[in-house]
Amino acid sequence: MRKRWIATATAVAALAMSLIAAPAAQAHDSLSETQPAAGDTVTEVPEVSLTSSNTLLDLQGIGTAFVIRVQDDEGLYYGDGCVTLSDATMSMPVELGEEGEYTVTWRAVSTDGHTISDAYTFSYQPTEGTTAADGVTAVPRCGAEARPGDDSDQQDGEVPQGAESQTGLLIGLGVGGVILVGGLIGFVIAARRMKNS
Tell whether the model's pLDDT for residue 44 goes beyond 80: yes
Tell whether the model's pLDDT for residue 149 goes beyond 50: no
Q: What is the pLDDT of residues 116-144, one digit of tens each?
A: 899 999 999 999 999 999 999 999 998 87
Band (166; pLDDT cuts 50, 70, 90):
very low
Tell whether the model's pLDDT for residue 58 goes beyond 70: yes
Amino acid code (one letter) for 108: A
For residue 34, the model assigns a pLDDT of: 96
Compute the distance between CA of residue 44 and CA of residue 38 in angstroms, rounded to an integer: 15
pLDDT, mean of residues 85-105? 96
With a pLDDT cut of 90, the percent of the chain lying above it is 44
CA dihedral over 147, 150, 152, 157, signed as positive or negative: positive
Domain ranges in the chain are 2-196
Compute the distance between CA of residue 168 and CA of residue 185 in angstroms, rounded to an integer: 26
Report the CATH number of the 2-196 domain: 2.60.40.1220
Q: Average per-residue pLDDT in the chain?
A: 74
Tell whether the model's pLDDT for residue 12 goes beyond 50: no
Tell whether the model's pLDDT for residue 72 goes beyond 90: yes
Residue 174 region by backbone torsions, left for phi larger than 0, else alpha for psi between -120 and 50, else beta: alpha
pLDDT, mean of residues 157-176? 44
Band (145; pLDDT cuts 50, 70, 90):
low
